[in-house]
Amino acid sequence: MTKIVQFMFKRKVWPILLIVAFAGTFWAFRSNGANGNATTQEKILTSLTQIIKENHYDPKPINDAFSKDVFKKYIDAIDPDRNIFLLSDVKELRKFETYIDDEMNGAQLKFVPLVNSIYAKRIVEAAEIYKQILTKPFDFSVDETIVLNSDKLDFGTNEAQRKDIWRKKLKYLTLDRYNDLLTQRDKSKEKKDSAGPSNNKSDKELEVEAREKVVKMMDKSFDRLKYKFNDDERFNLFVNTITNYFDPHSDYFPPIEKRAFDEQMSGKFYGIGASLREEESNIKVATLITGSPAWKSGEVKVGDVVMKVAQGMDEPVDVSGYAVTDAVTLIRGNKGTEVRLTLKKEDGTLKVVSLVRDEIVLDESYVRSAIIKGKEKIGYIFLQDFYADFEKPNGARCAQDVARELIKLKAENVDGVILDLRGNGGGYLVEAINLVGLFIPEGPVVQVKEKVGKPTVMSDNNKAVLYTGPLAVIINETSASATEIFAAAIQDYGRGVILGSSSSYGKGTVQRQIPFGKPIDMFTGRTEFGSIKLTLQKYYRINGGSTQLKGVTPDIVMPDEYEFMKFKEKDNLNSLPWDEIAQSSYKKWETPYDLKTVQASSEKRIAENRAFSLIKTNAEWLGKQNDRVYSLKLSKYQDEQKKLRETLKQNDELAKLATIMMVTPLAADKMKYDTAASSNKDKAERYNAWLKFVSGDIYIGEATNVIGDMITSTNIKVAANK
């Protein structure tokens, strides 16, 4: 512990600066808004508009053209399947398509209220439509098709067309379940399982069962629309449509959603310590965390149905029809506050349980490590987020946690280290800088540019290097933001070899939370109106290039199944553009291996590996599936689904090594996981499943080969210089 504290001490100034900047921003905007006669929603909209105008890195002109684009995107967002509104509704709403900019600048809010009134009427009609359609059987021998891409859908010009849009959607949903039931029946017959759930049912009976499943699903979906997607939620969607138009990462967070964002970033939350699951349209208690408020109460049991949730003595909220995530949002809250649950016990009785929220730590979202034993002994570290808990002096920090793992790995004399950042969407910028500092001596890590002025170079100021050995970093298309800062710096310094898909996500922008409205909780900065996560800066590599749109191109490209999916930054038309600035002054790492030799060896292996070749072929095919037309004829649908299932199953198999690696916990962690196995079986099972995944992953396998190539190349280089 002492080594880590000493090593990280010089970097502790960053959280302090971040908190000071955050507090200044909060007070600067807490009193802004519309006049005293404005509604709450009007105050939120005008306040956000002012914040965006004054602070966004590259604000767009707020004019009639802007309004038209926001109008279209909002209609797309609120009715993506084009089955709620009629074309006449959209035409009626269109009288406000050039009025949105006026609302943002203080005019009376008229557009969303009109949307709400029409939506409330149409959603009732839609509920009757789906119920009526699902009373009659579908004919799956008819050769017709459905388009699922919302960009290619049109609104019905009359009630008949809207009903037909619904008919096709419901037929598709029923067809999907009908096909599953047919498959289950066939498998039961093959196994001669007379007790199989569908073994003795006819095609007609299975079609009825499939429709019944869709009815339940639609009932639940519409219950959620009724109870959750209310006027406030539609307004929040409207505001987020506006913020996302400036760029994809500027978001509005109402107070509760702002809290959820904080929880994700810190890896902890304040709740009751009970996980929930969905079962037969009910929300049930799935597990209890030992020592948590729910566990201590002795009144909350696994299997209890959560009927209502109340904040202290407030009116309880009926969570019937809620998604689990929505119910969880209501149950969590500030530390020390009361939440009252109305629970339906297994004997059918109702019980109101009062619980006081306490801190629950999501330790499984933190860093993990293991040892891969083969020709070389390699340390493997998995980092899911660049998390940090700034609310506590000794709160969790991902860079400190990785430092601990590196110290343990060094104690085991590993020959190299793999840092896996696949799926890591980023987090705190300061943690990315600190993490780079574990592998390099002092020097610049990233350049940050405001909307005006010269770029600021953010550096690691600690001359010490915690780990100097071979380093391989794995990334993929979902590795973004802080992950890209880290990978880019490691690549620019030549400190390690970057492996992964053809490029990372491509997010080169920096956001900051700006709360506004009256304070609710001064400790956390929560306010009555929530906050906006706003893009205030762009960051650049120390070589001057931006990771915006282009991402980080690995030294070694490994094909994966997401390669041709369109979800990267460059696929969003509202993304900020790529550009470059002057290079920062930095000294490259004296690389003991020859990168070109390492690249050539890996590229040869990948080219000769049938699995990688097929993954690439399959990725191209899967990338084209979102835009195709789907058949509603059973025989054609089955052919399409068979091909899709075979491809996905093949990808799963291809991503597994033919010969698994030996992967074990670190010696320092063995007692911890032995204890976990005896006290928390579920947690132990999850950890063992993770070890099994690591042992058979083809991408980790290639990373171990690259570490071996780095060591071999280093030895050859040393021998040549003697």
Q: What is the mean pLDDT of each run of 10 residues along the chain (722 residues)?
A: 32 30 35 61 95 95 97 95 96 97 96 96 95 96 90 91 96 92 82 61 93 89 82 94 95 72 60 76 74 82 86 84 78 87 78 86 74 96 88 83 96 97 91 97 96 94 95 96 97 98 95 85 72 94 96 96 88 94 95 95 96 91 81 93 85 90 90 62 77 95 97 75 52
User: Looking at residue 326, what is its pLDDT?
Assistant: 80
Instruction: Say if residues 227 and 322 touch (Cβ distance below 8 Å).
Output: yes
| Tokens coding 80 | 């993506």
Residue indicated by tokens 């149905």:
305
What was the pLDDT predicted at 4? 34
Tokens in use for 394? 């000794």
Nearest to 564 by CA among 623, 650, 504, 489: 623
Q: What is the pLDDT of residue 244?
A: 95
Is the separation of the CB atoms in 364 and 686 below 8 Å?
yes
pLDDT at residue 9 in the model: 28
d(CA 334, CA 355): 12
DSSP for residue 659: S
Decide: 251 and 532 in contact? Cβ < 8 Å.
yes
Which structural domains are found in the chain, ordered by start?
59-246 (no CATH), 268-361 (2.30.42.10), 363-721 (3.90.226.10)
Q: Which of 541, 557, 546 is nearest to 432 (CA)?
A: 541
**pLDDT score for 11:** 32
Nearest-Å Rg of the Cα atoms of the chain is: 28
Give the pLDDT confidence score for residue 573 in this predicted structure.
92
Chain position carrying tokens 């109402």 = 254
* Tokens matching residue 404: 């601990």
Which residues touch 262 (CB under 8 Å, ≥6 apart)? 524
Determine how β-strand 416-420 pairs with β-strand 471-475: parallel
In the prediction, which pLDDT does 198 show? Answer: 55
| Exposure string for 556-570, b = 16+ CB within 10 A, e = fewer | bbbbbbebbbeebbb
Question: What angle, rounded to 10 degrees, do the helices at 159-190 and 634-654 form?
Answer: 60
| pLDDT value, residue 390 | 76
3-state secondary structure of 580: strand
And the tokens for 540? Answer: 């650049």
What tokens appear for 434 in the block? 């600190």
Q: Do you know the residue count of the chain?
A: 722
Instruction: Choose among 48, 410, 516: nearest CA to 243.
Output: 48
Q: Is the pTM of this model over 0.75?
A: yes
pLDDT at 562: 85
Q: Give catalytic residues, as residue numbers.
A: 481, 492, 507
